[in-house]
Amino acid sequence: LILGDLPDLIKHQKQTGEQRRWFALQNQKFNSPVCQVFIRPFGKPRVILSDFREAHDILSKRLKDFDRSDRAREAFAGIIPHQMLSYQTVDPKFKKHRELMRDLMSPNNQVSAPEIYSKVNTLVMLWHEKCLHAAELPFDGKTDIQRATLDVITAVSFGLDDKNSATRRQLDDMLSRSTAGVKFTQPGKTIVDFPIHPLTAELDATLTIVESSAVGFSSPIPRWHYWILSQFPYLKNAARVREEWTRCEIDKAVKGVSKDGSENAWATRSALEFMLFGFIIAGHDTTAATLSWGVRYIADCPRAQEKLRSLLQNAFSTALAEHRQPTIDEITGSSIPYLDAVIQETLRLSAVLPIVSREAMVDTTILGYAIPKGTSVFFTLNGPSLMKPAIKVPEAIRSESSQRTKDRYGEWRAEDVEQFVPERWIDVDDEGVETYNAMKGPFLTFGSGPRGCFGRRLAYLQLRIFWVLLMWNFEFLPVDAELRTQDAVEHVGVEPCESYNKELHVDKIC
């Protein structure tokens, strides 16, 4: 009785490798959009809401009633205590941090697009080399995706030359082994385990800290749990390397923080270090997890893959005729509705951050249920109405602001809401012309309102460049059932334990 629902949550975590997807299962178990769970001994219950309309309304309209929850703040407080992810909206430091990060996270940042394009092209070269040696056997591409996205976000933040690029170092190692006559396939094995080249100390420290962040989301006492973990030598060393690295880079550019060339009084080096590292974490881990799931989805949906590749070849017909990659200007300047739909559907179905949480700042209600001040409310992004059939809610018990926006979004069909269907985001007119419609149905992957993901536009830019170049160069084939495990692992986002790729060069099949 004292432990409440905690044993059931722990059991789910042991079986699946993660715990955040457990919460939506409680709404399904009780067939109710609202329920409560007891997961912190002697603590208050947590309320779970699995209803898109009401969640969207709270996040975007009921800003005086709800703010960032203690659970969300504690999840990041261990690794980035002085970053806006760890502040409530009413905290003056939140606004200052958001303003400082705005330019860096904007796709209009002239550094972003070329750096993303360059680093993704290096991943393409690496996978071409792996395809040559894999002999059409699958290999785990998850590590390559993780390292490519880490290269991207580091390059956007600091600039990153080839000698420090994780993907370039891996490619150079592959080429040197290949030149030396190394064979990567092994008799009797149905997969290829390519050797993994060591990272630089700075990038290795970054991944070590990202992996340690799992306790922020899985522990009932995340702040204390992370403090204990941080006393271990390996994490102490990673924190030291991270601090020295970010401080060095900040020292190069800190005079640019304010318009008059002097440092802002509030923008201490310590605060800047945490803000910058928070940017790297947010821009790397979730994008890598989304792409790892996305490669699975597209491999298992050949119809969608063929359609996307055909539309890309039509859109970039000059590049196709000249036997080259589409340029960055061609990619960012094109309108390809089905590409937008594939990106949006990947984001919806992967739900790498399956919970958004808020804290009631006043006594209030949700769908007729009393919510006392101080209660943490978890909104599920992988449950009913978003990734499962919706649970019916009487219109009369919704908030007034929710009722006023009743017709703003559509609803997903129950029969395919759990499937990868990019067409759900497409409108077709009487002449058969397709247009992308982001309002077709429920979507909360980036949250909503003033606390919505501050890197949303940069994330879309990254995913656009990744998808174009990967689809342009490779056909992803389904892998055998034993390699298609749904086991997941939690860091900042929920990602697959492995993501096996079975690829062919497009130039071999066109």
The 3 state secondary structure assigned to 110-150 is CCHHHHHHHHHHHHHHHHHHHHHHHCCCCEECHHHHHHHHH
Give the CA-trace dihedral at 287, 391, 439, 476, to 10 degrees.
40
Do 384 and 50 meet the contact criterion of CB atoms below 8 Å apart? Answer: yes
Residue 271's pLDDT is: 66
CA distance 395 to 202: 53
Q: Is the dihedral of CA 278, 279, 283, 284 positive or negative?
A: negative
Class of 112-302+454-508 in CATH: mainly alpha
Contacts of 268 (CB under 8 A, 6+ apart): none
Regions of the chain where pLDDT drops below 50: 259-263, 265-266, 508-510
Residue 312's pLDDT is: 98
Give me the amino acid identity at 179: T
- Find, among 371, 8, 71, 349, the residue nearest to 222 by Cα: 71
Residue 255's pLDDT is: 55
449: left (phi over 0), alpha (psi -120 to 50) or beta: left
CA distance 20 to 18: 6
Q: What is the CATH number of domain 6-61+354-419?
A: 3.30.43.20
CA distance 103 to 376: 32
Token pair of 305 as six digits: 């893959």
Q: Decide: helix, strand or coil at residue 26.
A: helix
- Phi and psi dihedrals of 140, rounded to 5? -80, 115
The 3 state secondary structure assigned to 220-241 is CCHHHHHHHHCCCHHHHHHHHH
**Residue ranges of domains in the chain:** 6-61+354-419, 112-302+454-508
CA distance 320 to 195: 33
User: Is 453 marked as a binding-site residue?
Assistant: yes
